[in-house]
Structure 1
Amino acid sequence: MEQSDIGTVAAWLTEQGLKGASESELLTGFCQICREFGLRLDRGMALMDTLHPVHEGRAFRWDSEQAIEPEFEYGPTGRDADSLQSWQRSAFYYLWAGSENEVRRRIGFGDPTDFAMLERMQSEGHTDFIAMVHRFAKAGTIGEMDCFFSHFTTRHPEGFSDRDLIILRKLVPVLALAIKCIALGRIARTIAEVYLGEDAARQVLEGKISRGKSERISAALWFSDLLNYTKISDSVPPEDILPMLNAYSDVVISAVHEAGGNVLKLIGDGVLAIFKSEAASDACCAALRAEQLLREKLVLLNEERAREDRPTTDVYIGLHIGDVFYGNIGSQERLDFTVIGPAVNEVSRIASLCRSVDFNVLISSDFAASIPEEDRAALACIGRYALRGVQRAQDLYTIDSGRMLG
């Protein structure tokens, strides 16, 4: 590889990083181009920690001969004894725990196979291995994403040449920067979706961040709470409260998402969600599907918790449809992307009434009128109620096979 070729590879990485190529595309393209220019390269791997509520990081792989999974998510590395031991036996851990920036093993020429996977690489015909770490300064660190790991191998009978190593040392930092650029965008999307919800996150990332900027939409509204949450919280050890809340939040949120809804707010044990569609009937039917999914998930969760002698509960839900303002509300220093309007207040009042009337789902008259006529037969009117803060009294409904609370 000539000096001009090094510039060509660096320019390609810069261009692809700016275009938004995926991390696996960057690694694959980098390895293939280097190989075409004469670098003795047969396998490459890169990994970097991320900021994600479940995964610790993402890894990317390329091989000149074998079809391998190009990317995967991992972690946490210390979740069990096996994963911790595997991490501590890796070349990456050796670099992370020490002060060196690279480590090489000429595994085809008598060097020890003292790191994880080296024996397997040796048996597959690899002759030389080099691992690198490129550390980020504090200002460039987000969470655990504080460095970029990579390793490269060759099957060449003479291993890597000195020139090969010089080229890798020059180009891998450019690869690291390109992958970090893409990873930061992924982190921004993940954080926005986790804390704002998928639809609100998309709108924020599209630039709708001006205070007071909102749109008027018609949506089916969902507000749910846990039955007897305060009483249960007072009766269980404090360390059990958060796992319980997470378990029940998981089934509620997953049911809403699987039915096409968007969770906008978590308020203690309460969940505010919306279902949007051009047709009001479609939005309402999606909310009803979410309610059905939730009941199925609750049965399984409560059976599991009962077997483990842990407290169980139920979820009560209010469903309504109406016009709301959807957008940025707050101050110059702190904004929230959510919905506001009388309909939001109304759905929360409907949900609160569940406890008084002993039904775990209550449906407004507007919602009932919006669903297809054939589905309306499955609803049962429980009477006419005046809700606090709502001007007009209205008939409220439950599902005909309504499950009694308690």
Structure 2
Amino acid sequence: MDPKVFTNIARAIADASLNGHSEGEILSNFCSNLNEAGIPVKRALLGADTLHPVLAGRIFSWHADKQEVELFEFGRSVTEEGQRKWHSSPFYHLETSGDDSFRFRIAGHNGGDYPFPVLPELAEQGYTDYLVTMTRFGERAVIGQLNSIYASWTTMHGEGYSDQQLDTLNALIPFAAAAVRSASVRRIAETVAETYLGRNAAQRVLSGTIGRGQAERITAALWFSDLRGFTRLVDTVSPELIMPLLNDYAGAAVSAIHAHGGEVLKFVGDGVLAIFRDDGNLQNACMQSIKALKSCLRELREVRNRRANAGLPVTDMSVALHVGEVLYGNFGGEDRLDFTVVGPAVNELSRISGLARSVDQRAIYSAAFKQAAGGLNEYAISLGRYALRGVENPSELFTLDPSVLR
């Protein structure tokens, strides 16, 4: 290949990486450039493991006859059939053998057994040559399970790839792998930030809001939920059963909050702190939190039934709702920060939540929340006025009509 063409392809890969292109975009551009340079790739698969609470990795599939790159995601749990297919694949062969590549010229096969089950399938589809590569990372470049980029490069051209085409392809693949690693690391950074900070907070931190004390004033509906009788459970239940219980109940709260536009900010022991931002319509934010509350309690009924039928410990959840202006941003020490909300309204929410147990209510909210939500007159039941620690005047608290919570 003309050295200038090689350099142009390598530069295009670097440009794609520096411009933040996704893994699929990098693969698509690379394959198009290879074909323009006379390397007749017809189909390419590219895979990478990842660092994600649910997913184990992603595979990107490019085909010359298709407009879009297809994305396949696979989870952490693997079926027996999936494990069998992996162990019989050329990728597993490279992983376990330590080899960097495997090439099989399908067009020249003499009719004997194929070394991998995928090869007769490719032969039937008319492919003539097959190259599998694994680009491994150095120890300091590994993040979680992301320790290599594995790929396959298949052609339908005549007798397959020429030796010169293979040499060029093998020389260029590390450039593409480095660019894909960059895109994967960016995706991992976004995933980790969203997983531990919440969606909006993650976007703010990754966009540069990372300085200690950087915060903005926002108005929001505030949510705090915690488990009823959790202290007693911890004292009486085997520790191995506590974490699954927390996950089941927190999962119900988180899915309900996210489904209705809320943002989970943090977990405090068995508690969940969340906000529903006022984006110009505070009443709507309050009503979305009410919808999330109803959805959460419905899901909890299913959680309790499922756990009870399995002989596992069960409990219930209380949800407190309030509204007010808060500071939303970074707080903490110089080198250990938390992205959360602070202010008198958050303190009042904590006090209201503490009263939920003494008044034996699953849902409790403030007069300020009731007013911001438009009254809730047909649903609101007054619980009376209570003195909240740190609040000058007694506050009237409410719950929802039990029929609404069914």
One-letter amino acid of the structure 1 residue matched with residue 59 of structure 2: A
Change (3 A) 1:108 1:32: same
One-letter amino acid of the structure 2 residue matched with residue 244 of structure 1: L
Equivalent position SS for 2:330: strand
CA contact (8 A) 1:261 1:276 kept: yes
CA contact (8 A) 2:379 2:404 kept: no
One-letter amino acid of the structure 1 residue matched with residue 154 of structure 2: T
Find the counterpart in structure 1 of residue 94 from structure 2. Answer: 95
Find the counterpart in structure 2 of residue 119 from structure 1. Answer: 120
* Counterparts of 2:322 and 2:9, CA distance in 1: 57
Match of 1:303 among 289, 305, 310: 305
Change (3 A) 1:117 1:356: same
Q: Deviations over 1:103-152 (max 9, x none)?
A: 11223322753224222112111121111111111111111111111111
Equivalent position SS for 1:309: coil
Q: 1:14 aligned to 2:14?
A: yes
CA contact (8 A) 1:31 1:41 kept: yes
Find the counterpart in structure 2 of residue 356 from structure 1. Answer: 358
Q: 1:220 aligned to 2:221?
A: yes
- Give unpaired runs (5+ residues) of structure 2: none
* Counterparts of 2:308 and 2:362, CA distance in 1: 20
* Counterparts of 1:122 and 1:93, CA distance in 2: 21
Q: Deviations over 1:8-46 (max 9, x none)?
A: 211111111111121111111211221122112111011
Equivalent position SS for 1:121: helix
CA contact (8 A) 1:359 1:403 kept: no
CA contact (8 A) 1:350 1:387 kept: yes
CA contact (8 A) 1:275 1:286 kept: yes
One-letter amino acid of the structure 2 residue matched with residue 134 of structure 1: T
- Give matches, 1:211-290, under 5 Å: 211-277=212-278, 278-290=280-292
CA contact (8 A) 1:91 1:116 kept: no
Equivalent position SS for 1:200: helix
* Counterparts of 1:209 and 1:269, CA distance in 2: 27
Percent of pairs identical after alignment?
Answer: 40
Q: CA RMSD in A?
A: 1.9
Find the counterpart in structure 2 of residue 58 from structure 1. Answer: 58
Q: 1:291 aligned to 2:290?
A: no
Equivalent position SS for 1:301: helix
Q: How far did 1:404 drift?
A: 9.5
Equivalent position SS for 1:159: coil
- Give matches, 1:128-143, under 5 Å: 128-143=129-144
Change (3 A) 1:64 1:305: same
Find the counterpart in structure 2 of residue 5 from structure 1. Answer: 5
One-letter amino acid of the structure 2 residue matched with residue 344 of structure 1: V
Equivalent position SS for 1:311: coil
- Give matches, 1:86-235, under 5 Å: 86-110=85-109, 112-235=113-236
* Counterparts of 2:35 and 2:404, CA distance in 1: 65
Q: 1:389 aligned to 2:390?
A: yes
CA contact (8 A) 1:351 1:361 kept: no
Change (3 A) 1:298 1:106: same
Q: Deviations over 1:83-121 (max 9, x none)?
A: 222221121111111221111122332275322422211
Match of 2:318 among 292, 316, 338: 316
One-letter amino acid of the structure 1 residue matched with residue 231 of structure 2: T
CA contact (8 A) 2:128 2:157 kept: yes
CA contact (8 A) 1:131 1:149 kept: yes
CA contact (8 A) 2:28 2:69 kept: no
One-letter amino acid of the structure 2 residue matched with residue 329 of structure 1: F
* Counterparts of 1:285 and 1:136, CA distance in 2: 50
Q: How far did 1:222 drift?
A: 0.4
One-letter amino acid of the structure 2 residue matched with residue 42 of structure 1: K
* Counterparts of 1:30 and 1:272, CA distance in 2: 45
Q: How far did 1:402 drift?
A: 6.3
CA contact (8 A) 2:254 2:264 kept: yes
One-letter amino acid of the structure 2 residue matched with residue 14 of structure 1: A
Change (3 A) 1:67 1:280: closer
Equivalent position SS for 1:56: strand
CA contact (8 A) 1:108 1:127 kept: yes
Change (3 A) 1:164 1:404: closer
CA contact (8 A) 1:209 1:328 kept: yes
- Give matches, 1:2-81, under 5 Å: 2-65=2-65, 70-76=70-76, 79-81=78-80
CA contact (8 A) 2:386 2:395 kept: yes
User: What TM-score does the superposition give when structure 1 sets the normalisation length?
Assistant: 0.94
